[in-house]
Amino acid sequence: MTRKKRRLYMLGLALLGLGSATALALTAFQDNIVFFYSPTQLQTQQVGDRNFRLGGLVEEGSIQKMQDGLTTSFRVTDTAHTIDVRYRGQLPDLFREGQGVVAEGKLTDGVFVAREVLAKHDENYMPPEVSEALKQAGVYKNPAESETKTAKKE
């Protein structure tokens, strides 16, 4: 075998290895990517049978505990559209009506079946995805701005 052929084989093997590594990395990332949607975005986009995050506000008067004590159903809204959510497990302590929430799961027969529910951690925090969705819906009120306006009026 000549030096030129040996170099060509080595280059081919290197490219094959790089291609294989790239393919493995991309399939690993594809399995871990979780998209975020608001209830309004779910009305216009098809999400298929994959996990995604749903964010918005827990609708007032919508929380219902089932008799098994573990399953809870509630509605998430961005004030323009609402989606029913069902969750089996212990909810975060800060979960309540009117608060921001992000739930991860799948849409099944028009009901979002959550496998994880995250609640905001204080009265001023809202996940960036939820605040962006509320801004797009035209109903977002920045807590810091409203406190500043109140202080200026006094």
* Binding site feature residues: 121, 125
Annotated binding site for heme: 121, 125
Bridge-based pairing state of the strands 35-37 and 64-65: unpaired
Compute the Cα dihedral for 91, 97, 102, 107 and give only its sign. positive
Give 77: exposed, middle or buried? Use CB within 10 Å, 0-12, 13-18, 19+.
buried
